[in-house]
């Protein structure tokens, strides 16, 4: 199943659940001028569409050998599960709350950081683990700080989502499925990256996701 199909299915799921909750009056900020579910759904779908070009480019790798080892599907499952459970299960804080503002800011910050990383890599970025022709090691932009800023952005954005829609099921999916999926993905990806000239030196000077931590 291609990244485009997975993205389309996630968008359909988000739209369906957001409007279902809106119709039942059980969403965040229900009764206020702006429905929090629909606002966040719109932001999330805009993020998916911003990466649609990459998903379309990855179609060209279908049927070709990649080094994903199933991590793409596991990662996608964690991402989809985090938002879909957020829309399905009741949120702890329904009315406008400080955690909502913090959640949106963390989500947007994570999205922009991830898109900055993707733009910096350019043609070398892919949703699949693969060796691109004439692969180069880049240390500009967010790659000055960590080795995998795109994944760091994914963690931050979904942490913000989990905070905004806070419920225990979503938090569990985020921590038990998405975060381990990203960690596993990084470990698999680095098996390929350490085969590229200069990556070992690059890796010695910065951590994977969090500066001075891991």
Give pLDDT tens digits for 165-179: 999 999 999 999 999
Mean pLDDT for the chain overall: 83
Distances (CA, A) of 58 to 70, 122, 133, 199, 208: 15, 13, 14, 23, 24
Q: Mean of the pLDDT values across residues 184-195?
A: 87
Contacts of 26 by beta carbon, 8 Å cutoff, 6+ apart: 90
Q: Does pLDDT of 62 surpass 70?
A: no
Number of H helices and number of E strands within the chain? 9, 0
Question: What would the two tokens of residue 186 be?
Answer: 């990084």
Task: Say what the pLDDT of residue 34 is.
Answer: 76
- Which of 25-34, 116-125, 137-146 is most confident? 137-146
Which is higher by pLDDT, 209 or 34?
Answer: 209
Burial (Cβ within 10 Å: 0-12, 13-18, ≥19) of residue 89: middle
pLDDT band at 131 (very low <50, low <70, confident <90, very high): low
Number of other residues whose CB lies within 10 A of the CB of residue 44: 22
CA distance 130 to 65: 8
pLDDT band at 63 (very low <50, low <70, confident <90, very high): very low
Residue 100 near residue 28, CB atoms below 8 Å = yes
CA distance 96 to 39: 13
Domain 3-204 CATH assignment equals 1.20.120.1630:
yes
Task: Say what the pLDDT of residue 65 is.
Answer: 47
Which is higher by pLDDT, 148 or 60?
Answer: 148
């Amino acid at each position: 199943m291609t990244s485009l199909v997975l993205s389309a299915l996630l968008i359909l799921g988000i739209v369906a659940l957001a409007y279902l909750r809106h119709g039942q009056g059980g969403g965040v900020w229900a009764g206020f001028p702006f429905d929090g579910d629909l606002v966040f759904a719109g932001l999330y779908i805009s993020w998916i569409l911003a990466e649609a070009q990459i998903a379309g480019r990855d179609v060209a790798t279908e049927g070709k050998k990649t080094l994903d080892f199933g991590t793409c599907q596991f990662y996608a499952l964690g991402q989809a599960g985090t938002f879909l459970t957020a829309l399905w299960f009741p949120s702890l804080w329904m009315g406008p709350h400080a955690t909502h503002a913090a959640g949106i800011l963390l989500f947007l910050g994570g999205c922009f950081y991830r898109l900055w990383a993707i733009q910096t890599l350019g043609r070398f970025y892919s949703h699949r683990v693969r060796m691109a022709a004439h692969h180069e090691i880049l240390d500009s932009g967010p790659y000055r700080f960590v080795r995998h800023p795109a994944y760091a952005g994914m963690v931050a954005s979904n942490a913000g989502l989990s905070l905004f829609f806070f419920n225990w099921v979503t938090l569990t999916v985020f921590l038990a499925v998405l975060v381990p999926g990203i960690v596993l993905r990084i470990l698999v990806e680095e098996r390929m990256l350490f085969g590229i000239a200069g990556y070992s030196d690059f890796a010695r000077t910065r951590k994977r996701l969090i500066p001075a931590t891991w």
